[in-house]
Structure 1
Amino acid sequence: MEELSSKDFQEKYAAEDEAVLLDVRTPEEVEEGYIPEAQNINILAAGSFMEEIQQLDKSKSYYVYCRSGGRSSQTCQIMDQMGFTKTYNLIGGITEWDGPVINS
């Protein structure tokens, strides 16, 4: 796992064609606004969370965020233990994000 500032997160994600953007917040949090192209996998939905993570392609890069950076860091650690080699955590989560956000 690599910890990235909002600026570095945006630049690295934009530079990769097959990178995946993961939002690990709850559906209620996602309704408050999310980063465009983000796929939501709720880390608090314990059973389905692990199933969904296991179905992801381990060869891709994953850019992960939550509200403040804690749950996304935890997700990156879980993914790393499962054999993912390119996980990136957004330091400070969406609260520190200065890029575009879609409000539902």
Structure 2
Amino acid sequence: MNLFRRLFRSQQITNHSIIRLDPDDFKKAISKNSGKIIDVRTKREFATGVIPGAINQDVMQKNDFLQASLQWSKSEPGYLYCQSGMRSQKAARILSRNGFTKIYELRGGISGYDL
């Protein structure tokens, strides 16, 4: 039972480190805060339009994504987005499981964001 409580508590802590923001709130957050803006789409998608200041790190290339994340500060805010919101959720979970504590995800992805 103690193991179950530890696992469940850990999952709760992990989930609290991921905050999903609507496009307006995401825009405000990246304009006010320092941090890394991470586009987790493919290079081809990245070339079609990007939030200014974003770096591209395709989450579907999991090993590359994990290797790149080792260079990022775990205490610095990370602002994640993809095309529709699914891949950024995956990226947020990966970062959270690996010790990142300030993860902000664009709800609905860049498709609902005015560039």
Q: Normalised by the size of structure 2, how large is the TM-score?
A: 0.82
* Equivalent position of 1:77 in the other structure: 93
* Cα deviations by residue, 1:12-45 (Å, 9 ceiling, x for unpaired): 11111x2110000000101111111001111111
Question: Which shifted more, 45-54 or 20-29?
Answer: 45-54
1:1-104 matched pairs, under 5 angstroms? 1-16=18-33, 18-98=34-114, 100=115
How far 1:54 moved relative to its partner? 1.8
* Cα deviations by residue, 1:42-66 (Å, 9 ceiling, x for unpaired): 1111221110012211110011000
Q: Which has the larger radius of gyration?
A: 2
In structure 2, runs of 5+ residues without a counterpart are 1-17
Runs of 4+ in 1 over 2 A off after TM superposition: none
In structure 1, runs of 5+ residues without a counterpart are none
Q: What amino acid does structure 2 have at the position aligned with 1:29?
A: E
Q: Which has the higher contact order (CA 8 A, sep 6+)?
A: 1
- 2:38 is paired with a residue whose SS is strand
Q: Normalised by the size of structure 1, how large is the TM-score?
A: 0.90
Backbone CA RMSD of aligned residues:
0.9
Q: Aligned equivalents of 2:45 and 2:29: distance in 1? A: 25
- 2:105 is paired with a residue whose SS is strand
Q: What amino acid does structure 1 have at the position aligned with 2:26?
A: F
- 2:80 is paired with a residue whose SS is strand
Task: Provide the aligned length of Structure 1 versus Structure 2.
Answer: 98
